[in-house]
Amino acid sequence: MSFGLEYSRSLSQLTGDPFQEEVCVRLGRVIVSFQPIPRKPHGDGGLDGLSHDGEHAYCCYGPEYDAAKKTKERVDAIVDKFKEDLRKLFELDMNGTKLVHKENEEIATIVAEGTTIKHIKLIVNWFESHRLIGPINTALKKYRKASACKYVDPTASVVIWGPTEFAAAYVVDEDSILRIRHGTLFREVKSAADTVAIADPTTFEAKIAALKKICPPYKAPTIEGMREQFLSDWRVSLAFEQKLDSSIPTLHHALEADRLRIAQQVRHLMISSPQPHVELGRAEQIAKDLLANDFETFGSTLLDSISSGEVARLMGDCLIAWEAPANA
């Protein structure tokens, strides 16, 4: 399978935020002027990205896949979503069947003064029917007439791209394939982690109980929060190991080798410290630095979780140890 075909197929399987994130990351790699628009904390004004000095706009939509949904229902949902995005750009809203002006406060903080959008790309994870095209372009003509066109040029054009068009527009290289593969694996790992059981957390729990006795009572809620995060990350680390073992054996071997190095360096850290319980942050950084050599392409979020999970595992294996005060 060619890189382009693999990429388009993988992209078509992404939905929601992961779809938008992948589209924006890729656009940022191939278009030097691409500017992603964060949704939080104020909203994105109907835009997911801008480029070409603010004259090209991008709107992304990755609807959830429903095998039972008919083509017409899928088309209608995509058309409705992109018509809503276009109305925001044209500062319009529906009052019954009538178009009325509705100020878009956020777009004023995104589009530079004196700039109008001249081309809009609507990028969706499913584009297998030409029946998307007519309704969207019909809506565009209506919105041009009804709008003051403060932010969108009256002659602005719109095109719709699906995964195939998006993959074909720019060369798909090995980095793109690795990123989308690893992103998919990350989501699978996070989902699988919810069902992973830690074989024996007894020693880990004993360390947490001892830590609560070592630290002042007011830190107990913080320690409990740390405990929950460690356990969650431990499950992620276990799910990651299982996934690599079943699908990418070479990386599974790399993980095992990294674990040995992590254990060795953390052991030295604990032996040399008069207060091992204060070294957990440094232990996590050791794990992250060593794992990054093999797993950096999986992204910092997964790397953080695995590093934390490995520290929790070492606590459970007694390689990270401390004792509660004798009089506690």
> Looking at residues 69-77, what average pLDDT do you find?
90
Of the chain, the end-to-end C-alpha distance in Å amounts to 64
Of the chain, the percentage scoring pLDDT greater than 90 comes to 71
pLDDT at site 67: 66
> Looking at residues 32-42, what average pLDDT do you find?
87
* 107, pLDDT greater than 70: yes
> Looking at residues 152-178, what average pLDDT do you find?
92
pLDDT digits (tens, 9 = 90+) for 185-207: 888 888 899 899 999 999 999 99
Residue whose C-alpha is closest to residue 244's, from 311, 306, 195: 306
Fold of the domain spanning 3-169? Restriction Endonuclease (3.40.91)
CA distance 27 to 140: 24
Domain ranges, ordered by start, for the chain: 3-169, 192-316
Is 138 or 189 the better-scoring residue by pLDDT?
138
pLDDT digits (tens, 9 = 90+) for 263-273: 999 999 999 99
> Looking at residues 21-39, what average pLDDT do you find?
92
pLDDT at site 54: 95
Of the chain, the percentage scoring pLDDT greater than 70 comes to 97
pLDDT at site 284: 95
Local confidence band at 42 (pLDDT 50, 70, 90 cut-offs): low
Residue 158: strand pairing partners: 120
> Looking at residues 14-39, what average pLDDT do you find?
91
* 328, pLDDT greater than 60: no
DSSP for 226-250, please give it.
HHHHHHHHHHHHHHHHHHHHHH-HH
pLDDT digits (tens, 9 = 90+) for 204-223: 999 999 999 999 999 999 99
317-323: Cβ within 8 A, 24+ apart? 317/203, 318/203, 319/263, 319/266, 319/267, 319/270, 320/207, 320/266, 320/270, 320/276, 320/280, 320/283, 321/207, 321/270, 321/276, 322/207, 322/210, 322/211, 322/214, 322/275, 322/276, 322/277, 323/210
**What average pLDDT does the chain have?**
91
pLDDT at site 68: 66
